[in-house]
Structure 1
Amino acid sequence: MTRPLRFALIADTFPPFRTSGAVQLRDLSREFARQGHQLTVMLPAAGLAEPWTLEQVDGVRVLRLRAPRTKDIGYVRRTIGEFLMPFAMRRQLRRSPLANEQWDGVLWYAPSIFHGPLASALKKASACKGYLIVRDIFPEWAVDMGLMGRGLPYRCFSAVARYQYSVADVIGVQTPGNLSYFSEWQRGPGRRLEVLQNWLDKPASARCPIRISESALAGRKILVYAGNMGVAQGMDIVLELAGALAARTDVGFLFVGRGSDAGRLRGAAQARGLDNVLFFDEIHPDQIPDLYAQCQIGIVALDPRHKSHNIPGKFLTYMQSGLPVLANVNRGNDLAGIIRSAQVGQICESNQLDELVALAHQLLEQVGADPALPARCQALFEREFSVGHAVQQITAALARDAG
């Protein structure tokens, strides 16, 4: 490559948000800068007093554009806000110093499904290619979960998603199992479909305020869940697992994060009098390594009604920290094959408590008997989930016709 390339990245989450998507995009943007490229991240920002703000963060330009609110509000207001979001962002972009910037490539991140109009406008203005990073196949997963039927709302969301797909020249899905969903899209001229593994950078290591040694779980082997606790995760069986293991005074469960089910799960644990469970609010991503250093097993949970494949960001953080995983996922999920082939934990695809309990006992025993287990976890991370490889793959796809 003879010159640095100029890329625009459109997303709806980025620090100071602490979601896994925000952390992923922060890490991706840092790696673009490390590899010598010029990246500008474009984000919607509700409540800005001015049309736009521009800052430099870790060698990356971050352009925040005033747009309707889409976070922590009701579904109807959120849908309206997300529909208006790309048009508001485009309008404010025209008023910003970057209005006439030319790009060698445009990439954008789903969720959300609503970035298509802005991505299309940027591509046309620069006559460049577009790369869509798909981490969430919506509205299909919502139908799988029973949150939505196939009526008018589904058809509207599906039309929006299909338009976004039509704008892309390259789509990167996170597992081979998701390739088939885009088989019809792939038939279009000049389109390419590929697997773009999830990624994670090496985090800073800040002290975590959660000190297990000073808690009611001191001295126990800790199974930790850190991340969103919502409908898509199907966390109830994990709480049932904690209840089933309550008699083991050497085992404790730690839940750290937020989400639509977090309060309900906390209340259920209190109502059942589970003294082997602790809940904490979400922590800064840089504190995650110190938290995991105090734990022995990471928990992955996905509602069994899912039909698509998903490799949660928390799985990457567990592997990076050398934590084997106990996973309860939908049958056939590609994650099951990864865990089994790399021998980095135990996985339940039946959503049956008895099987999950047996696997938990087995993994707890293995943690004490298999000293090579943490090294296998870290080796899997380095081999498959490097942020450097992700940037090289995206850049190669976008650079083919750049300049």
Structure 2
Amino acid sequence: MKLALIIDDYLPHSTRVGAKMMHELALELIGQGHEVTVVTPHFDEGEPSFIEDKLEGVIVWRFRSGQIKDVPKVKRAINETLLSHRAWSAIQSKVDKDSFDGVVYYSPSIFFGSLVSRIKKRCQCKSYLVLRDFFPQWAIDSGLMKEGSLIERYFRFFESASYRQADTIGVMSEKNLEIFNSNTDSQYPTTILRNWANLSAHYLSNKKVSLRERLGINDKVIYFYGGNIGHAQDMANLMRLAKAMKCFDDAHFLFVGQGDEVKLVNDLIEEWDLTNCSYLPSVSQAEFKDILAQVDVGLFSLSAQHTAHNFPGKLLGYMVQSLPILGSVNKGNDLLELVNNNQAGLISVNGEDEVFFENASKLQSDVKLRRSIGTSGYKLLEKEFAVGNIASSIVNSLKGE
């Protein structure tokens, strides 16, 4: 099949998990014999409105867009609203009736409905929405947006438009499927589509400078959080854990990424005198893999206010490297049961700080436990999250099988 993959962020410039996942999906699809073209924005005003290049055999069409990451909310909303218009203006001359046999689009963003509609109409093909984020619902749950407000209705319009263009919508888990169908009166064709990852672990080159040496933490047990540092993650939850873990001289917390709560992280490090914490800004995917190959525990947090049941993509990176997972989630999230029951990590409910601390303490003092949990995590990855199975599932859906 000839497939278009649409996402608002892509490699090599992105540091986000979604970009990495879509690239791994593209490579797997090519490996299975399909032709893949990624449609994604670029943000360089000095470059043409349309750029075509290749990345590891993947054809990439980049259309010029205003910034949509790490900018003020109003500016982001305007530029995201224009994504479909700018994309179609840039690529329409390249698309004819035989260009694509299927479209796979990733949300967030919720603003690609119009673009998908135009491609489907011209190519007479089906589409598959990889839905990873119930926006604007999570923003309402977090108190960032008022239910019934004009801005909520604005975002709901585009959310609905995105859903209507999908012949199949893949959500992350059983609980998410229940919630989505309940919220939308089961009017859309839905299925479970796990997050995914390539199964090959990364090993640090001997030529690379050790992260431990660079930060002066050679003998520490490193608890690593990498990715978006924002409201949805409730970073104060992780900072409270770091504060509680000051009683262990050989525990160190490393935070790497960007987002709305970077200032909060740095402020709390200073306010609470957290000498057991380090913060680094976003790094390239290659550097990120190098870091994962050197740390001991993979950290994550989800806001207690969430009603959706996210499976953060960063967990797959931890599992690929056989790192034990330590985290906390919103109440009722089926991620807790999936990971804990498979001995792939220690997950508690956000707000149960004592349990979170106890779990961290267990991993701190027992290297054999860390290794056994990490090994179980890799086995769970093979079973549930292998990119090959995901790619086949998407293709079969687009073929109507």
Per the TM superposition, whether the score is higher than 0.5 is: yes
- Look up the match of 1:132: 129
Decide which of 9, 12, 16 is 1:13's aligned counterpart. 9
Q: Does 1:361 align with 2:357?
A: no
- Look up the match of 1:92: 90
Relative to structure 1, the CA distance from residue 179 to residue 197 in structure 2 (aligned partners, 3 Å threshold; closer, same or farther) is same
The amino acid that maps onto 2:49 is P
- Look up the match of 1:199: 196
The amino acid that maps onto 1:183 is N
How many percent identity over aligned positions? 32
- Look up the match of 1:25: 22
Structure 1 residue 209: Cα displacement:
5.0
| CA deviation string 1:247-271 (max 9, x = no partner) | 2112111112222212331232123
Decide which of 23, 37, 40 is 2:37's aligned counterpart. 40
Distance 1:137 1:71 in 2: 18
| CA deviation string 1:221-272 (max 9, x = no partner) | 1111111111111011211111112121121111122222123312321232
SS of alignment partner, residue 246 of structure 1? helix
Answer yes or no: is the 8 Å Cα contact 2:323–2:370 preserved in 1. no
SS of alignment partner, residue 194 of structure 2? coil
SS of alignment partner, residue 252 of structure 1? strand
Structure 1 residue 106: Cα displacement:
1.1
- Look up the match of 2:348: 348
Answer yes or no: is the 8 Å Cα contact 1:48–1:66 preserved in 2. no
SS of alignment partner, residue 258 of structure 2? coil
When the two structures are superposed, what TM-score results if normalisation uses the length of structure 2?
Answer: 0.92
Distance 2:248 2:274 in 1: 12
After alignment, is 202-211 or 148-157 more displaced?
202-211
Answer yes or no: is the 8 Å Cα contact 1:205–1:286 preserved in 2. no
Identify unmatched segments of 5+ residues in structure 2: none
- Count of residues paired in the alignment: 394
Structure 1 residue 366: Cα displacement:
4.3
Decide which of 108, 113, 117 is 2:110's aligned counterpart. 113
The amino acid that maps onto 1:165 is Y
| CA deviation string 1:34-54 (max 9, x = no partner) | 111001111122325323111
The amino acid that maps onto 2:286 is D
Structure 1 residue 111: Cα displacement:
0.4
SS of alignment partner, residue 25 of structure 1? helix
SS of alignment partner, residue 307 of structure 1? coil
Structure 1 residue 122: Cα displacement:
0.6
- Look up the match of 1:171: 169
- Look up the match of 1:153: 151
SS of alignment partner, residue 177 of structure 1? helix
Could you say what the CA RMSD is over the residues aligned between the two structures, in angstroms? 2.0
After alignment, is 108-117 or 223-232 more displaced?
223-232
Structure 1 residue 186: Cα displacement:
7.5
Distance 2:204 2:193 in 1: 29
SS of alignment partner, residue 102 of structure 1? coil
Answer yes or no: is the 8 Å Cα contact 1:327–1:348 preserved in 2. yes
Relative to structure 1, the CA distance from residue 274 to residue 350 in structure 2 (aligned partners, 3 Å threshold; closer, same or farther) is closer
Q: Does 1:379 align with 2:370?
A: no
- Look up the match of 1:230: 230
SS of alignment partner, residue 290 of structure 2? helix
Distance 1:205 1:285 in 2: 14
Identify unmatched segments of 5+ residues in structure 1: none
Relative to structure 1, the CA distance from residue 88 to residue 249 in structure 2 (aligned partners, 3 Å threshold; closer, same or farther) is same
| CA deviation string 1:71-99 (max 9, x = no partner) | 3322112112111220121111124x445
Distance 2:129 2:369 in 1: 43
Paired residues for 1:293-312 under 5 Å: 293-312=293-312
SS of alignment partner, residue 62 of structure 1? strand
After alignment, is 322-331 or 60-69 more displaced?
60-69
SS of alignment partner, residue 267 of structure 2? helix
Relative to structure 1, the CA distance from residue 320 to residue 127 in structure 2 (aligned partners, 3 Å threshold; closer, same or farther) is same
The amino acid that maps onto 1:38 is E
Distance 2:4 2:370 in 1: 45
Relative to structure 1, the CA distance from residue 13 to residue 233 in structure 2 (aligned partners, 3 Å threshold; closer, same or farther) is same
Distance 1:92 1:26 in 2: 21
| CA deviation string 1:343-383 (max 9, x = no partner) | 12211114132222122112334443465332211111111
SS of alignment partner, residue 169 of structure 2? strand
Answer yes or no: is the 8 Å Cα contact 1:226–1:256 preserved in 2. yes
Q: Does 1:337 align with 2:337?
A: yes
Answer yes or no: is the 8 Å Cα contact 2:229–2:261 preserved in 1. yes
Distance 1:158 1:66 in 2: 25
Relative to structure 1, the CA distance from residue 355 to residue 203 in structure 2 (aligned partners, 3 Å threshold; closer, same or farther) is closer
Distance 1:109 1:369 in 2: 36
Answer yes or no: is the 8 Å Cα contact 1:116–1:163 preserved in 2. yes
Distance 1:28 1:209 in 2: 30
Answer yes or no: is the 8 Å Cα contact 1:205–1:287 preserved in 2. no
SS of alignment partner, residue 372 of structure 1? helix
Distance 2:136 2:210 in 1: 36
| Structure 1 residue ranges (4+ consecutive) displaced by more than 6 angstroms after TM superposition | none
- Look up the match of 1:267: 267
